[in-house]
Amino acid sequence: QAVENQLKICGFKRNVDVVALYLAGQGLRSVPSLSRFHKLRYLWINNNKIQDLTFLIKNFCLTELYLNNNELTDISGALKHLCALQILLLHNNQLKKLGKTVKELKGMISLQTLNLFHNPLAQDPDYRLYVIYLLPSVQLLDRKSVTQRERESAFHLYNRERSCVLQSTAFGRRVNTPLGAAVGSGRCTQPARRLMMPSGCEFGNHTNKVPFENPEDAVLLRAMTRSLMEFSSVDWNKVATCQERRLENKAEQPHEKLTVQFR
């Protein structure tokens, strides 16, 4: 009845014309399937007593969904198909399992605004960094902008091995620590180990064809022998062309060669 009342208020005569639906604050405990509204994009169903979201399983076009202030305890299997969703408000519910909740939202590559505060799962000490790491598209989390520093902290915390490699090799900052020692934050601590380089891997003789037994040794070796790139340029305005040489119209000048090295 609440749905039909909204259709009459908005003057919708065809289901295909329904783009927005406002069902907030009506004391609803359940909602019938909304699959007939194929183009529904905006749905307000906040401030009710909703406990189940199966009525949304075929509304693929939703971009804004307001589910805050309800009685939801689990959203598994109910929202993962909403790949176009950009705004999702779930605060003031009873969501308890952080891992299951975030897993349900991982496929939402367009999700930019997310509220999960005032749920039991938000009590986790690393809750915010966990959400930031697994949902990289989110820019506004719990009414607070996600900063670059938070993204870096989340990366170091939940991808320790990759973080250590990036901080010690390639074009990252140079690390003046013994190879095999811990690099970066204290969360990346690892026991030191020796670099086992197989025979035939001497530098400069093009004989490094023997693979490393441990792939990490190759990474450490790369960090120790950073590649050298060299670029040379010449001012071609000072170099005589063939025609000028033949006509002797331009005096030959010594070539000025500029060489720049990058390590």
Domain 1-147 has CATH 3.30.70.260: no
* Distance, first Cα to last Cα, the chain: 71
Average pLDDT over residues 42-60: 92
Pull the structure tokens for residue 55: 């009525």
Pull the structure tokens for residue 193: 């180990």
Distance between CA atoms of residues 24 and 192, nearest Å: 59
Distance between CA atoms of residues 137 and 58, nearest Å: 23
Does an H or E element contain 66, and which? strand 64-66
* Domain positions in the chain: 1-147
Q: What is the pLDDT of residue 182?
A: 41
Q: What is the pLDDT of residue 159?
A: 77
Q: What is the pLDDT of residue 258?
A: 74
Does an H or E element contain 224, and which? helix 215-224
Give the closest residue to 15 by CA, choosing from 7, 23, 5, 24: 7
DSSP 6-23: HHHHHT--SGGG--EEE-
Q: What is the pLDDT of residue 134?
A: 92
- pLDDT tens, position by position, 228-245: 667 777 777 777 777 777
The CA–CA distances, whole Å, from 53 to 6, 30, 45, 202 equal 19, 8, 11, 63
Per-chain mean pLDDT for the chain: 77
DSSP 73-104: S--TTTSTT-TT--EEE--SS----HHHHHHH
Distance between CA atoms of residues 51 and 77, nearest Å: 14
Give the closest residue to 185 by CA, choosing from 201, 173, 172, 167: 167
Q: What is the pLDDT of residue 260?
A: 72
